[in-house]
Every structure is written in C-alpha cells, then in structure tokens.
Structure 1
Amino acid sequence: MGGDPRDGSTGDTQRPLETPRDPSETLREHREHLRDPSEIPRDPSGSTGDTSGTPQRVRPRVVREQVRPRVVREQVRPRVVREQVRPRVVREQVRPRVVREQVRPRVVREQVRPRVVWEQVRPRVVREQVRPRVVREQVLWVSGGSLHPPPPPGAAAAVPGLSPPLSPPLSPPLSPPPFRGGVHTFRVPLLAAPAGGALLACAEGRKRSAADVGAKIIACRRSADRGATWGPTQVVADDGWGGDGLSLGALLAPGGGQEVLLLFARCAHPPQACGPPATLLLRSPDGGRSWGPPQNLSDVVGGEVFAPGPGSGIQKQLPPFPGRLVFCGHGTLERDGVSLLLSDDGGHSWHRGGVLPAIPFGAPRRPHDFTPDECQPFELPDGSIAVSIRNQGWYRCRCRMRARSWDGGESLSPASVTLEPQLPDPAVAAGALALPQHGLVLFSNPAHESERVNLTLRWSFDNGTTWWGRGLRVWEGPSGYSTLAAPPPEEEGPAPLVYLIYEKGRSLSTETVSLATISLSGDL
C-alpha cells in the first residue's frame, strides 16, 4: 500500500520519529573521545569515524605540538640564562682585589699623611699662636769661677773615672794658668733635652785664656725638672795643661730616651804641639749622670780635622734612612769645609757622609772666599737634611748660608748651597731647630752683620725659606755662640717650650753662659 504523500509517509512500515539528542550528551561524548583518543573509530584512510568538525579542531595531537614543552624549554633554557648572568663574569667585574688596589690603605695614607696635611693647612693657626717670649733666664757659668785646684806642673789629667788619659804627660812642664785654681773663660755652650724632663748643658772651660787654642775641660750641668733647678758642675773631660786641648762639640739625645752622645775634637788647631787630630765620642746611659769610656773615631774621619758643630746632632725621623744619627763638623785653616758623620746603629759604628769643601781647598784663605765653617743640621718635612752654615769668609754676603742633602746625608753638593740674606750674621756658631709638630723652624744668632750683639730668635713657617718679622730679641748686648733644644714632642705641655743657651755679657760676649726658657705661645 502506498502512503499518503501529503503526510510524508511511504509505502513501507511507518517508523516513529526520533527524539532530538540533548546537546550536552553530544558534548559529553566529545569529551570522552578527548580523554582517550585511541577509542575514536578510524577508517582505513586514517580519518576518525566521527566526521564532525569539532573533534578535528581540538585534536589533541595538534594542541600538543603547538604547546610542546620541549619548544618552551628551548626558548627559556636555563643554561642560556646562566650564560647571560654567569656569576663568574660578575665576580670578574667586581673582583675584590681590584677594589683593594683602587682604595689601598697605603695610598690613602700617603695622600693624607698628617705631616703633609698639617704643613698645607695649618700655617694660619700656627702664626696666630706663635708669640714667643722669654719666661725664665738663668746664668749657668760665669767666666773666672773656681772648679778645682790645678794639678802639679807636668801632670796630665785624664777624663775623671776613665783610663787611659786623653793625652800623655807633657815635657817640659808648663806653668799654671793666670787664674790659679779656676777657669779663665766658659765658651761654646751646648744643650740637650733627653726624655724624662731632663736638661743637660755643657760648655768648654778654657783654662788659660778665652782663645780657641789651649788646655780645656768639658763642664756639664744637669737639671731633672726642665731647668727649674740645676745640679753642680761635672767635669766630663780634662786634657791637662798643655797643647791645643779639647774642642766642643755637639750633643745628641737619640730615640727619645735617656742616652746622650757627646762628640768633641782634640788637637783641632794644627800646627800646635798636641799630636794628630782626633774626634772622640762619649756616651751617657742616664741623661748625663755618668759617662762611659771615649770612643775614638779617627779611623772614620781619617787624618782630616773633624770639629763637631758646635751645636746638636739630629736623628732622622723620615725616609730616607729614618733613625739615622747625623753630626755635622768642620775643618780648620786652609783645609776648611763642612762634612757629615753618620750612624745607622745608634752610634756604635760610623761612616763619613757628604763633604762640602772650601774653595780653594788647601790654600791660604782670603777675604770673601767660599769658606763654609761651623754648622748645625736639621731635618725638613720632605726628609731632606738642611745644614745652617757659618759663612766664614762672608762669601757674597754678611749672612748665613745653607746646604741641603736629599739622600740622608750621603752627599752634600755645592749646587745645593743657598745664601740667606734675611739672616745677617757676624760669622758665629748659630742655633737651628726644626719643630715639625708645630710647623716651625727656629734659628738663633747675634743678628748683626759684623758685631756679636743682639741675640735674636727667628722662626719660619715655610722650612726656612722666609723668616717671620724681626723675631724675638733675647739680649741686645754682647752675645755669641748659641744652641737650641726642645723636649720630646710627647712631653710637651699646653704651652710648648724651647730652650736657648748662649754666650752673654755686658762688655764681652764671653762673660757668662746663660739659658733662656722661651714659651712659643707666650704663655707661662
């Protein structure tokens, strides 16, 4: 039977209409296919049984290829990152050793060395504070005084407590001095300030006259309280009654301790009947209370005269050769000039340093010849040694001259010599002292071109290149040789003191030896 075409039926058996599928069930099936792709039916051509577009668009294999982990790892591979920020590269860039070299403490110390900084930025403060004035003055020796009775005629006296005597018995015997039992003249004063608050003053005791040639003693006095009180005179050396005798000399208290060195010459004025010239060193271990046997340095200085100072030796504080002991000495007559004596072991062994000879050397002296004579060394802040020198022949000026050594005293070149017109000088031994802790160089002499009068203290803030004002007049009358000393820096009080020992008189400069205590700031 045929069906009715109007109702859409056919001639076959009529089937009931299928109920439409729920979309959620279809989605669930797709998800199940995604969970296990192997269950999706495939046709021989390799396609899945489900021909719908949805499984093909979300095919797992395609998704895995697009987000394949291996690709991502290659793009952000840790090894590449490590190479870019490799710690070794960073360490090389900020290597501690490089930083240490750039800020090495030694370089910093050289750049901010206290002595250099103080010298560059302290002058104004120092100039305002420096107002020297004499706060105390004492007479230590008066010429013509009595020390001990004279020895019997012909006797040769020795250094007290020492043997053998400094000179053999003299023949024929010589008569006693005009001032029987005393000393005619005290001259050539020296001064040292060992540690512990002591002062040691020494001078020549000329037995017969005020002349340089003749028999002498070396007399010393000691103060344990920086000059407030003084002990009696001690005879450190006595050369008897004949010949040329002893010649001072220089004192040095090295190392800030109690040890004191006393250097002097004998027979330094040939051709006197005295014997070959000699340079002798006495050593005191206790600030001048006692003295050991003399050490003869003639093998070091050779046959030339080496008359120390007069004045003070120094101990270098700065390179080159820190700790080196330096004495300056001079010759005499035709063989004059200045030379240095050096020791690097505390004064146990010595060698000759630089020499500055007179010109012409070995010939009779004439006025205005270049004749460097008595000398005083001091150290400058750059470690060089300056030597203030007596201009014996008034070479080109009636003033001081200065030489300089940059190698610790090993050489002393004529090219280093300069004249100092700001320091008029009547040709005497003068005092010179460097005070690096105050930025000062001090100088003392009779400030006159021809007469030994007007003892003056001068000071300089630029290592002696220029001198401040007219200085401090210590004594306007007759005055001669002088020496300066100061206590060790660690023993300075609130009012720094310096000591000036000098020859002083009313008619003659050789009447007394006087000590002036000077306050640099003017305070008591």
Structure 2
Amino acid sequence: MRRGRYGRWGRAAAVLALTAAAVGAGEPPRPARCAGSVPYTAGTGGYAVYRIPAVVRTPAGTLLAFAEGRVHGAGDAGAVDLVLRRSSDGGCSWGPLSVVAAGHGDTRGNPAPVVDPASGDVVLLSSGNAGTATERAVLQGRVDAAHGRRVYVQRSTDDGRGFSAPRDITASVKRADWRWYATGPGHALALTHGRYAGRLVVPANHSAAPAPGSTDTGREPRHYGAHALLSDDGGRSWRIGYVDASYDGQVNSNESTVAELPDGGLYFGTRDQLGDAPGNRADSRSGDGGATLDRPYAPQPALASVPVVQGSALYVSGPGSGRPGLLLFSAPSVPGRRAAEALWTSTDGGRTLTRALTLSPRPAAYSDLVRVDAETVGVLYETGVRGPYESIAFRRVPLDRLSPARPAGVRPG
C-alpha cells in the first residue's frame, strides 16, 4: 500500500478533526460544541483511500457512516471493501472501523443504506464486480455476467453493530441488457406518509447495451440511465421502479438521489454524465412512490455551478415553530472542478434552489446528507487540502443557518 503518500494528509486531517470538534485536551466530545469530525483518513485502517460516503441515523440516534475502503489507491476498480464507523454522539466521535462487505480482492461498494420504519432495522444495498473488471470494460460488454456488476442486500438488527452476509438480488433488479450498474451512492429513502408509506426506495443507475444491429459501441456516456429499486416488505424482496431509458445523449442520467416531499411526492436529482443539455444536474419528480417519473429528467439551472459529480438530497422539517421545511442539496460548487462543498435549499420542492452555505473552499467531491437531530443536519463528504480524496469529513450544520427567516410575530417553540 502507498501509505507514505498519504502521511502528511493524515496528519492534516487529524488536526482538522481536533479543530472541528472544538474540545480541549483530554476532554470528551460534546455534541453541543462540536462542529464536525473526520471519520475516514486516507492511509489509515489498512486502506490507501476512502471514498463514496453514505450516512443514516438509526432509531436509537446512532449515525452510521459507510464508505468504500480502497486497498491500493483511489481507482474505482480493484480490491475494495465496504466499511463502516458508528457515532453515538451526533458525529463528534466515531467507533472503530468494521468491514460490512469484504471484497477479498474484488470490488464491493456503492453503499445505499436505509432504515426500515416497520422494524427499525438498517437495510443496506450495495453493488460490486470482480476486481479485474473496470467500468469501461463493463460498459463495452467485455465482462461476463458472473464477473460484472452484481447487486446485494444486507440487514442489521442491532443498530449497525453487525450485518448479515450479502445476499445477491441481481436477478430481481437488473435487466438482461444492462451492463454497468450502481446503487446510490448515498442514503436511500423510507416513505413516511401517504399511500406508499413504508416503501423503501433506492436510487440507482445503469448503462444499456446498444440495440441489435446498431453501430453504436455502447461506450459512455450515451447509454447511462437512472432507475429506482422498490421494496414494500421491509427490504426482503425488491423490484425495479421507474426507468429512465431515453439514451438520447441530452441528459445522461447517472448517480441519482431521492427525497420525500411533504405532499408525499418524491424529488429525484441526477448527475448528468456529459450530456448535451446545459449544466451537469437534472431532476424530476414521482407521484407514485418511485414507480414512474412525472416527466423525463430535465436540467436544473439553479445548480449550473455544480461540476460532474454525485450529489445528495434530503428533505427536513423546519426547526422550532414557524420554520418552513426545506429540501436540501449538497455538492461541490465550482464549475469544472471538484471543490467548495456547498448546500442549496428549496422551499418549493426543488423547482427553485438557492445556494445557502459553502462549507469550505477546499477540494471536495461526493457527499451525503443526514438529519442529526431536531436542530442539526450533517454532511458526510470527501475533501482534502491538495485533493478531494484525502479524507471523508463530517460537518454538523445548524438548521438555523439554512432556514429562511421566521415570519414576523412568530415566537420560537
């Protein structure tokens, strides 16, 4: 492993973690005073790089921070394990690293965790392939089904302390003509109200093989598409929901995210993987719990500054009395460069978004959002000093910093 390359980064991240926690020497972490922490640092714990964060909060209030532990370097292919750290103090400190799904030299990742509201169990979807299979080789159809992308589900009944062995559900959720496949990455969604309450919705993406007789080679990005996975029995069985299968090169929907709106509708956002449409982000909505989209994905002009990168969406009710709920979106905010992690807010279900806060001007890439408590959200995101893959940091953000001003005459609850 190239541990020496990351030595200085590790020391820098450790300093950042202590600064973010804002605690004195020898004092235990205090959530009320904690601004953030760094659960993953490159070159530590047996992994050269940690990437692809995902985070959920359990019914007990525990935060579960998932990531890919990449053994040899930052590349997507090769020996990659799916790893986890737990926090019982709102993300100020983290327990020891555990391996949730070991690759044993193959690739395991793209975590998409969700809490089943009926049982309180943590349901984790992920995907993987043989360590020798690259994304380009899969896209071009040069990898057989046994070594190509597979989809797995696991379950924890003990607040994330342990998970069942990965169960292969590929046959239920991957069409025969799909080549590339990825769950999430980032948290999935459990619907909380309306006709589809209790349904688990996992955003995912795929690539399709060219039509028979076509001269198109199926190479990226034209054949990328997004879709959703649905479960109405707590994650025990799965089926495919909506499928974006336009493949027209305008919006090449790729890594996607989902949030539930107050009216029971779903907001879907997607990375546009080098499509011809303006910008790099697009969105849509679903009125039937993710089974179909109300309209095709269309560019979101308010996110024109976001580079080609994954992002995260989360709907949160307002803190205290008189505060409106917000749809939040997180991503880097520098056009053409993965840097300056920022948060956008929307009070109209994502039709318009306003950039509300920049967390740091430093390099940044993938992220995931979580509700920490009634007054706080958390952002788990890739960042560093020289590059975005030096660490995965956790930042606590008070909702008061994001919410519109309280209407005149409304007193705090």
Normalized against structure 2, the TM-score is what? 0.77
Q: 1:434 is matched with which residue? A: 315
1:417 aligns with 297
Per the alignment, residue 150 of structure 1 pairs with none
Q: Which residue of 2 aligns with 1:94?
A: none
1:275 is the counterpart of 2:155: no
2:35 partner letter: R
Cα contact 1:316–1:325 (8 A) shared by 2 = yes
Task: Kindly indicate whether the alpha-carbon contact (under 8 Å) linking 2:244 and 2:296 is maintained by their aligned counterparts in 1.
Answer: no
Question: Are the aligned partners of 2:223 and 2:247 in contact in 1 as well (CA < 8 Å)?
Answer: no
CA distance in 1, matches of 2:353, 2:170: 38
Measure how far apart 1:276 and its partner are: 3.7
Letter of the 1:284 partner, please give it: S
Show the counterpart of 1:232.
Answer: 96
1:215 maps to which of 79, 82, 92 = 79
Match of 1:443 in 2: 329
Per-residue deviation at 1:443? 0.6
Q: Confirm or deny: 8 A CA contact 2:34 2:396 kept in the other structure.
A: yes
Is 2:359 the counterpart of 1:474?
yes
Q: What does residue 322 of structure 1 align with?
A: 197
- Aligned pairs, number: 339
Cross-structure match for 1:486 = 371
Q: Secondary structure at the match of 2:337?
A: coil
SS for the counterpart of 2:360 is strand
Q: Deviations over 1:484-508 (max 9, x none)?
A: 0114xxxx44xx1101000001111
Is contact 1:394–1:427 with CA below 8 Å preserved after alignment?
no
Give the match's secondary structure for 1:509.
coil
Candidates 260, 263, 268, aligned match of 2:122: 260
For 2:120 and 2:293, locate their aligned partners in 1 and report how far apart those are by CA, in whole Å: 31
Per-residue deviation, 1:426: 0.8
- Aligned partner letter, 2:384: G
Does the 8 Å contact 1:485/1:499 carry over to 2?
yes
* Structure-to-structure mapping, 1:170-249, within 5 angstroms: 182-242=46-106, 245-249=107-111
- Aligned partners of 1:358, 1:426: CA distance in 2, in Å? 22
Change (3 A) 1:197 1:318: closer
Aligned partner letter, 1:328: P
| C-alpha distance 256-431 of structure 1, shift in aligned 2 (>3 A) | farther
Deviations 1:159-216 (A, max 9, x none): xxxxxxxxxxxxxxxxxxxxxxx31211001101111221000100111221111110
Q: 2:224 aligns with which of 333, 336, 351?
A: 336
In the TM superposition, residue 358 of structure 1 has moved relative to its aligned partner by 4.7
In the TM superposition, residue 257 of structure 1 has moved relative to its aligned partner by 6.2
Q: Give the partner amino acid of 2:241.
A: G
Q: CA RMSD in A?
A: 2.2
Higher relative contact order, chain-length normalized (CA < 8 Å, sep 6+)? 2
Q: Determine whether 1:504 maps to 2:383.
A: yes
| Cross-structure match for 1:401 | 282
SS of the residue corresponding to residue 263 of structure 2 reads coil
Equivalent position SS for 1:409: coil
The structure with the larger Rg is 1
Deviation string 1:103-148 (CA, Å, 9 cap, x unpaired) is xxxxxxxxxxxxxxxxxxxxxxxxxxxxxxx951211111122x3x
Task: Give the counterpart letter for 2:153 in structure 1.
Answer: L
Which residue, out of 377, 386, 398, partners 2:267? 386
**Percent identity of equivalent pairs:** 31
**How big is the shift at 1:272?**
5.0
**Per the alignment, in what secondary structure is the counterpart of residue 117 of structure 2?**
helix
* Corresponding position of 2:40: 141
Q: Which residue of 1 aligns with 2:156?
A: 284
- Which residue type is aligned with residue 192 of structure 2? Q
Helix, strand or coil: the match of 1:476? coil
**Amino acid corresponding to residue 370 of structure 2 in structure 1:** A
| 1:257/1:454 CA distance change after superposition, 3 Å | farther
Structure 1 unaligned spans of 5+: 1-133, 148-181, 361-367
Matched with 2:339 is 453
Shift of 1:306: 3.3
Instruction: Provide the rounded CA distance (Å) in 2 between the counterparts of 1:220 and 1:263.
Output: 14
Q: Structure 1's 391 and 276: CA in aligned 2 closer, same or farther, altered over 3 A?
A: closer
Q: Does the aligned pair in 2 maintain the 1:431–1:482 contact within 8 Å? A: yes
CA contact (8 A) 1:307 1:330 kept: yes
2:332 and 2:339 in contact (8 A); partners too? yes
- The whole-number CA distance in structure 2 between the counterparts of 1:459 and 1:390 is 18
Partners of 2:329 and 2:306 lie apart in 1 by: 12
- CA distance in 1: counterparts of 2:93 and 2:385, whole angstroms: 24
| Equivalent residue, structure 2, for 1:175 | none
1:256 to partner: Cα distance: 7.8
Map Cα deviations across residues 362-400 of structure 1 (whole Å, 9 max, x no partner). xxxxxx643100000111222221111001114321231
Q: Name the SS for the 2:197 alignment partner.
A: coil
C-alpha separation in 1, matches of 2:342 and 2:232: 34
* Distance across 2 between alignment mates of 1:293 and 1:226: 27
CA distance in 2, matches of 1:335, 1:395: 13
Contact 1:143 1:511 in 2 (8 A): yes
Q: Does 1:464 align with 2:350?
A: yes
Judge conservation of contact 1:309–1:329 (CA < 8 Å) in 2: yes
Native 8 Å contact 1:195 1:257 kept in 2: no
Q: Is the 8 A contact 2:333 2:339 kept in 1?
A: yes
- Distance in 1 of aligned mates of 2:233 and 2:115: 14
Gapped regions of structure 2 (runs ≥ 5): 1-32, 208-219, 319-323, 403-413
